Structure 1
Amino acid sequence: MHNNLGQSLTVAGIVLFLISSSIMLGSLAGGFLFDNWSPYYSSLFSILLSLASTIILIFYHGWPMFAIMNIIMGFGNGINLTLMNSYASLVKSKSTRFVFNILYVGVNVGVVIGTTMVGYLFKFGITTVFSVAAIFFLVLLLMTIFDLNIDFSDRENHHNVNHHAKKSQSKTGSLSLLLKICAMVLAIYMSYSLWESVMPVHMTNLNISFEKYSIVWTVNGTMIVLLQTLISKMGAAYNLRHQIYLGIVIFGISFIGLIFANKYYEFMLMMVILTFGEMIAIPNIPAWLSSMAPKKDEGKYQGLFNSMMSFGRALGPLYGGILAEDIGYNSLFGLSAFLILGTLLMVILGFRKMKLSK
């Protein structure tokens, strides 16, 4: 938008915020559609919306069409992300924890491959990028048509590891805990996005090259792809909720470490610690929500998770940019750790309160 379409960085930032917001709204819409309409037809609708937007961008990618179509595509992708999690929550042949960990690996493999391909394909023009994206959406559409037309008539009786616990939870207690978990997810992704927004500026200010900064993401993606399945197998022997607590504590500690980091290897170490926390906790949060969700509300719970994730990613760069200038980087990292660990404490206390109120 800035280099090729001649828009200011402010306009580009606003468009990126609108795209993230449309993903958030799409995530909420996806949950509603899954619970109240056909999951199959909802999936077809979301993929067709994204596919149509991508095809239009092949031929019309000037300003403002580029922004409009990407916002529409974001809405379709948001719907599909929630539907994907909602479908996964109803898999009966494997444990919910296993399914969401495999799903998490798949998403990250896609991100690694996609970002690598874009860097290469962009040399051949933006038309090539959108053409290849359209092919992937078409493949996804065909997979959905042939593999996801599933009968969910027995959804109310589907197996869940905490099925009996669901019945005994009060609606008020569950909703209160859900909102606390959403606040925690928001804090996590607001903080996570700092690595994408303010961290490259902070590291280059310390005379660390942008190329070296880029390597930390290579390490992050490689760790997830290679180790997530192993982490999942090791974690299967432990309580899901306690595993999430541990992962988020590790995630939060990495931001405390950033306060004291000023050398490249120290930043790399903090990314490794953050990634371990991410692998232990993040894929298991939607699995935990699935275990808590009242029957017929699977989509709603997954939609709220995905929408908070998207909202955190949208809000994070703004939050980081303003506070880095006002209070400094180290105070920003300390505040982020406080938000992560503080919202985790809220969740822990909220869960105990709900258990005691039964």
Structure 2
Amino acid sequence: MPRQSIKLKWLFMASLLNNAGAAMLWPLTTIYVHEYLNKSMTVAGLVIFFSSMGMMFGNYLGGWLFDNWKPYAAAVITVTVATLGNVLMIFFHGWPMFPILLAVICFADGSGLTVINSYGSAVTGHTARYVYNMLYMALNVGVVVGTLLVGTLLDLGIEIVFIVASVCYGAYLLITVLHFNVDVRPKATVKNQQAAAVKSPRHNVHIVYAYCLCLVTVYLSYALWESVMSVHITDMHIPFFAYSLLWTINGAVIVLGQPLVTRLADYLSVKRQIIIGIAIFAISFPLLIWVHSFAMFVVDFVILTIGEMVGIPSVPAYIDVLTVAEETGKYQGMPNVAMSIGRALGPVYGGWVVDQAGYNFLFVSVFVMMLVTWLYAIMVSRRSVKVIK
């Protein structure tokens, strides 16, 4: 029989394990396709692009399944698919099975991520803002663990990496099966299934779209750090190890700083926190024009990280305030779709602009994109309609 609520610790652990397993795959994708499978950098970029698109479609499907089907069954099926994909990758990681299985895993992960965020609305005893901040911290702890593991295990063999990733996903599946059987369907929906569908206020939906558009530009910019920035940094004769160390610093700052960020709820509205965070994030990009040493890269990346952890985790909480419970899955999936679109476009856009106009133009152009969408989001969200949960 379904329980009435889910404990935050199980959502936290599910998100941590999911992201630890995933973070063992995405850092090695480019180097594995290029150096192990002997494919061109263009092909490696296309593998990342199609994986990101798979995640985007998974985000949408996860939201639809949560709202229109059985949330528990949706969670179990998507996590099972991701786990099986990882297990198969242990035995079949040549060409073209590696990119095919990676796309399947990303599709399932995208759906699972949306379902986890949607389950956040079923946590009792905490504010939505606190819940989503904790889920964001779980994501980043998972990324730190996963990236450290893949860096250590890759020398032991690619099969070892896939085995450990499969263990993470297996534990994630176990938690899902044992603890996600929760009644998360709104009471009004259960009692009035034949009634007209409850819809979120139209203006509030416009606000959601505006902030998701802003997230597309934010994650397009963020994806540059995962792609072209590694080349930019090594071109300055800074070792690749130093570049990978930036991600460890990123995760450490988020893990240590997140408890402080949760205290901002006493002083800032959730909307204002998002606006300030994205502004800090965006300003880190034009500053890159004057960055020429590893120490300066660390300072710039810390600025970016502060903006990221202040603004990004609050977006799901803000969407939860703006939309009705009957559409939780649909609208909690939208920021994940926006992030996936940005991550898919970022490496392609970054590579093209660097070839045509250089890095400085790239840094300024993404700043302008973020500035325009940031201003648009502020204008649209000047007023909103109160939603009664």
Give the TM-score taking structure 1 as reference length: 0.91
1:77 aligns with 2:104: no
Out of 116, 137, 156, the residue aligned to residue 124 of structure 1 is 156
* Matched-pair contact (CA < 8 Å) for 1:156–1:295: no
Residue 255 of structure 2 aligns with an amino acid whose one-letter code is V
* Matched-pair contact (CA < 8 Å) for 1:184–1:340: yes
Q: Decide whether aligned partners of structure 1 residues 252 and 138 sit closer, same or farther in structure 2, where only a CA change above 3 A counts.
A: same
CA RMSD, Structure 1 to Structure 2 (Å): 2.1
More moved, 56-65 vs 108-117: 56-65
Q: Decide whether aligned partners of structure 1 residues 153 and 315 sit closer, same or farther in structure 2, where only a CA change above 3 A counts.
A: closer
Partner of 2:144: 112
Partner of 2:259: 229
User: CA deviation digits over 1:81-128, x for unaligned, max 9?
Assistant: 000111013323101111111111111111111111112222222222
Listed as ranges, the matches of 1:252-263 within 5 Å are 252-263=282-293
User: CA deviation digits over 1:263-285, x for unaligned, max 9?
Assistant: 33222211111111111101001
2:382 counterpart SS class: helix
More moved, 343-352 vs 324-333: 324-333
Partner of 1:282: 312
Partner of 1:301: 331
* Matched-pair contact (CA < 8 Å) for 1:35–1:299: yes
Out of 198, 223, 227, the residue aligned to residue 228 of structure 2 is 198
Residue 183 of structure 1 aligns with an amino acid whose one-letter code is L
Residue 261 of structure 1 aligns with an amino acid whose one-letter code is V
Q: Decide whether aligned partners of structure 1 residues 120 and 207 sit closer, same or farther in structure 2, where only a CA change above 3 A counts.
A: closer
Q: Decide whether aligned partners of structure 1 residues 140 and 170 sit closer, same or farther in structure 2, where only a CA change above 3 A counts.
A: closer
Partner of 1:272: 302
**Aligned mates of 2:131, 2:332 — CA distance in 1:** 14
Out of 335, 343, 346, the residue aligned to residue 316 of structure 1 is 346
Partner of 2:19: none
1:241 aligns with 2:267: no
Out of 103, 112, 119, the residue aligned to residue 87 of structure 1 is 119
Percent identical among aligned pairs is 41
Partner of 1:21: 53
More moved, 293-302 vs 18-27: 293-302
**Aligned mates of 1:214, 1:117 — CA distance in 2:** 12
**Aligned mates of 1:225, 1:67 — CA distance in 2:** 31
More moved, 140-149 vs 184-193: 140-149
Out of 22, 25, 34, the residue aligned to residue 2 of structure 1 is 34
Partner of 1:96: 128
**Aligned mates of 1:236, 1:38 — CA distance in 2:** 36
* Matched-pair contact (CA < 8 Å) for 2:64–2:330: yes
Partner of 1:210: 240
* Matched-pair contact (CA < 8 Å) for 1:189–1:316: yes
Residue 179 of structure 1 aligns with an amino acid whose one-letter code is Y
User: CA deviation digits over 1:135-175, x for unaligned, max 9?
Assistant: 22221111111111001244549xxxxxxxxxx99743123
**Aligned mates of 1:145, 1:17 — CA distance in 2:** 31
Residue 127 of structure 2 aligns with an amino acid whose one-letter code is S
Partner of 1:40: 72
**Aligned mates of 2:146, 2:207 — CA distance in 1:** 35
Partner of 1:162: none
**Aligned mates of 1:155, 1:138 — CA distance in 2:** 33
**Aligned mates of 1:169, 1:343 — CA distance in 2:** 26
Could you tell me which runs of 5 or more consecutive residues in structure 2 were left unpaired when the two chains were aligned: 1-32, 190-197
Partner of 1:185: 215
Could you tell me which runs of 5 or more consecutive residues in structure 1 were left unpaired when the two chains were aligned: 158-167
- Following TM superposition, the consecutive aligned residue runs of length 4 or more in structure 1 with deviations greater than 6 angstroms are none
**1:318 shift after superposition:** 0.7
**Aligned mates of 1:260, 1:319 — CA distance in 2:** 22
Residue 111 of structure 2 aligns with an amino acid whose one-letter code is I
**1:227 shift after superposition:** 1.1
Q: Decide whether aligned partners of structure 1 residues 60 and 214 sit closer, same or farther in structure 2, where only a CA change above 3 A counts.
A: closer
**1:77 shift after superposition:** 0.6
* Matched-pair contact (CA < 8 Å) for 1:255–1:336: yes
Out of 354, 359, 371, the residue aligned to residue 329 of structure 1 is 359
* Matched-pair contact (CA < 8 Å) for 1:155–1:295: no
1:63 counterpart SS class: coil
* Matched-pair contact (CA < 8 Å) for 2:322–2:384: no
**Aligned mates of 1:210, 1:5 — CA distance in 2:** 21
User: CA deviation digits over 1:191-240, x for unaligned, max 9?
Assistant: 01111222222223333333332322221111011111221123443211
**Aligned mates of 1:178, 1:78 — CA distance in 2:** 19
* Matched-pair contact (CA < 8 Å) for 2:200–2:324: no
Partner of 1:163: none
Partner of 1:62: 94
